[in-house]
Amino acid sequence: MKNNFLYEGKAKKILETEDPTVVKMVFKDDATAFDGKKKGVIGDKGEVNATISARIFQFLKHNGIENHFLEKTGPGEILARKLEIIPVEVVIRNFAAGSISRRLGLKEGLPFKPPVLEFFYKDDRLGDPMINEAHIQTMGWAKENEVARMKEIAYRVNDLLIDLFREVGIQLVDFKLEFGRAGEEILLGDEISPDTCRFWDLETGEKLDKDRFRQDLGGVEAAYQEILKRIGEPEK
Ligand code: UDP
């Protein structure tokens, strides 16, 4: 295996492999919040998030949502199809929390029906500003049909994940998706984990995601482990 770095982000490293169409993603234990202003380490996060992502990407694939995931290899490592990343984050919200609560003065937990979809421009320097479809097209970040496809996939992922998590007693509050191009196709990429979703216990309302780190609630590691325990391991 070649081990040439393609990219190192806050939570993952992306390495080349012998196959130019495949990358190795190494999930780190490092945690950041508030545009990198808050930093820490969450024990075992790399391995737990890689495993949770693998489980979710497999589940989505079985349900007709093609994505970049290929296989879970070593601890904290997955192989994925190499994508030409679209610099846009797609957020879906079923309940108010985080930035939308601050921005619009909404009480945490306010239900959204239909769910709210938002776009953010992926740029750490600018603090990932919120954007709309006109920005995406005018700046050339994605074409109109690509934006339509990302929205369609995001809503389908929401429906599927709401059910997956409800069955194990968890409310899917919100999540962030990233997409990329593989040839002519738009594929779901990046990770889907407690770093990129908000999960609340259906019975107790307890937070089981990165908000435990953001808000210094303690029990961060245990919360991530709990998500994995409930949804289970990916198939080998
Ligand atoms: N999110 C993410 N990466 C980001 C920003 C947000 O994964 O760079 C996720 C976040 O974990 C939450 C959802 O997207 O599940 C909505 O985040 P929000 O806009 O509320 O921002 P926050 O208050 O979390 O910074």
Q: Which domains does the chain have, with CATH numbers?
A: 5-81 (3.30.200.20), 84-218 (3.30.470.20)
State whether residue 215 is helix, strand or coil. coil
CA 88 to ligand 1 center in whole angstroms: 13
- For residue 225 the two structure tokens come to 């482990």
- Report the predicted TM-score, pTM, of the whole model to 2 decimal places: 0.97
Are 105 and 128 in contact by the 8 Å Cβ rule? The answer is no
Encode the chain (236 residues) as per-residue pLDDT tens digits. Answer: 556 889 999 999 999 999 999 999 999 999 999 988 999 999 999 999 999 999 999 999 999 999 999 999 999 999 999 999 999 999 999 999 999 999 999 999 999 999 999 999 999 999 999 999 999 999 999 999 999 999 999 999 999 999 999 999 999 999 999 999 999 899 999 999 999 999 999 999 999 999 999 999 999 999 999 999 999 999 98
Between CA 211 and CA 199 the distance in angstroms is 9
Counting ligand 1 atoms within 8 A of each CB, the residue from 37, 119, 176 with the most, and so the one to mutate, is 176
Counting ligand 1 atoms within 8 A of each CB, the residue from 56, 91, 172, 198 with the most, and so the one to mutate, is 91
